Structure 1
Amino acid sequence: MTSAGLTAHTVRLDALAIDARTEGRRALLAARGELVHGGTDTLGDALAALPPDITAVELDMAGVSFLDTTGLACLDLLTEYGRRRGARVTASGWRGQPRRVLELMGLDLTDPLHTGEAAAEGPAEPPVRTTSAVARERAEQLDVLRLEIAQLRQALDSRPVIDQARGVLMAAHGCTPDQAWEILRDASQHSNTKLHRIAAAIIASAAPDGPPPPEPLRSALRTAAARHLP
């Protein structure tokens, strides 16, 4: 089962996949890939396919490399499954960037669903979200994380354009990849222009009858090349 999340991005990401097996009345799920928008559908399909007599669901998250903030809805989905079925549900094995998201949310890394002991007494209840000072601080940290994720996505989308622009500069100046990168970065800083915009202008100018970059960019590129080339 796979998620179609983020197919609009130019960089192909690892779609979420969930492998499931059962041992008696216990279901063992192993997630791998990226838990982003659309991942709840994949998890929902995996849960729906489980036998009706399942009393425990253990989700191993060790194979998940990236967790978007929308992917946190999977925790609510698991909790709701446990509540409806009266089953004990756990999600463990968090590491890397997904682990950091849980830490910023102030969730227990060993039992983020807060169902470890409750399931033995009855259906699990959704985790309590407080409005304490600590919770507000976590919310502010999560906003910062959202910004970092958005910047990472933009960087991933821009990378192919930047690599092509470096190739154009290498051919034009006979320079190394590192020197081409320094020229781009320097021109971006001194012209106050986003790196991917400069890269796009360079690529467009390299095409037959392509338009030259605007004069401010040409000036910034000439100055940067003089700085970084022997």
Structure 2
Amino acid sequence: MPELTSQAQRLTTALHLDGKRVRVEVCGELDLDTGERLRNCLHKALSDSVQGVELDLSGVSFCDCDALDILLSLRQRALKQGKTVVVRISGGAVDRLVTVTDPRAMFADSGADGQDTAARHTQDAEASVERDEDLRTEIAQLRRAMHTRPTIDLARGILMASFGLDSEDAWAVLVAVSQNTNTKLHSLAGSLVAAVKGDPLPEGVREQLSAAVAKVDSTAGTPQLR
């Protein structure tokens, strides 16, 4: 199979035939906006494969619950066809999401050649139904939280501009401050946006923000958010 590359805003995918499996390299951001393009790409890869799909997600810079939902649906589709879906390489953004939902075992290679017997496929499919339902419940909860995403994304952009952070470091700072101040992420994001407009941040939040930024960026003279 010749290399097939498709591009959308913030997403690039490449398909490669690797023996009886199709290897898919994914780069960019996986979210609601790019989800349909990703779904179509993975369905094509599965259809073109004999044994299944191998995923290289090391180039993914952002991943939300919609992407995980797509992967779970792909796995179920593969099981019905007697195929497998294996995540060969992940990355920081993907690892953060699966740390919450812990579906790693579902996408692990179960054999030397990546192919299960028919009996193993059937057993795996039956045993995974309950776990899949639990994961979908967690995904639904995460999706509800996405209604606050515009504010969170804006706050992340503020941190990137104010402290010279990249996208991942800005996200890490938000999460750290949220945890250390026992503040919901969307509430913290709202406070940061309000701070830019002139409302002062609570002292405790300011202290934790400075500490979190210092942890991810040791550059001297990092500006303080006013």
How far apart, CA to CA, are the structure 1 residues paired with 2:159 and 2:28? 26
| Match 1:30 to one of 22, 25, 39 | 25
- Matching of residues 145-184 of structure 1 within 5 Å: 153-158=150-155
Name which one, 1 or 2, has greater alpha-carbon Rg.
1
Aligned residue number for residue 17 of structure 1: 12
Aligned residue number for residue 125 of structure 1: 125
Letter in 2 for 1:34: E
Aligned residue number for residue 74 of structure 1: 70
Structure holding more helix per residue: 2
How far apart, CA to CA, are the structure 2 residues paired with 1:70 and 1:91? 17
Question: TM-score, structure 2 length as denominator?
Answer: 0.52
Secondary structure of 2:78's match?
helix
How far apart, CA to CA, are the structure 2 residues paired with 1:98 and 1:162? 22
Letter in 2 for 1:125: A
How far apart, CA to CA, are the structure 2 residues paired with 1:106 and 1:31? 20
Secondary structure of 1:120's match?
coil
CA deviation profile, 1:98-145 (whole Å, cap 9, x unmatched): 21221221323xx433672595122462734459xxx79x95xx9699
Aligned residue number for residue 43 of structure 1: 38
Question: How far is 1:79 from its partner?
Answer: 0.6
CA RMSD of aligned residues (A): 4.4
Letter in 1 for 2:107: L
Deviates more, 1:84-93 or 1:112-121: 112-121
Question: How far is 1:3 from its partner?
Answer: 5.1
Letter in 1 for 2:12: A
Kept in 1, the 8 Å contact 2:22–2:48? The answer is no
- Matching of residues 174-213 of structure 1 within 5 Å: 194-197=191-194, 199-200=196-197
Q: Is 1:92 the counterpart of 2:81 in the alignment?
A: no
How far apart, CA to CA, are the structure 1 residues paired with 2:33 and 2:67? 8
Question: TM-score, structure 1 length as denominator?
Answer: 0.51
How far apart, CA to CA, are the structure 2 residues paired with 1:130 and 1:74? 16
Alpha carbons of 1:129 and 1:105: their partners in 2 closer, same or farther (altered >3 Å)? farther
Question: How far is 1:27 from its partner?
Answer: 0.7
How far apart, CA to CA, are the structure 1 residues paired with 2:72 and 2:16? 22
How far apart, CA to CA, are the structure 2 residues paired with 1:107 and 1:27? 21
Deviates more, 1:89-98 or 1:63-72: 89-98
How far apart, CA to CA, are the structure 2 residues paired with 1:152 and 1:98? 18
Letter in 1 for 2:66: T
Alpha carbons of 1:18 and 1:144: their partners in 2 closer, same or farther (altered >3 Å)? closer
Aligned residue number for residue 205 of structure 1: none
Aligned residue number for residue 178 of structure 2: none
CA deviation profile, 1:160-183 (whole Å, cap 9, x unmatched): 789999xxxxxxxxxxxxxxxxxx
Q: Is 1:60 the counterpart of 2:47 in the alignment?
A: no
Alpha carbons of 1:150 and 1:2: their partners in 2 closer, same or farther (altered >3 Å)? farther
CA deviation profile, 1:44-81 (whole Å, cap 9, x unmatched): 32234346452231011111122112221122232133
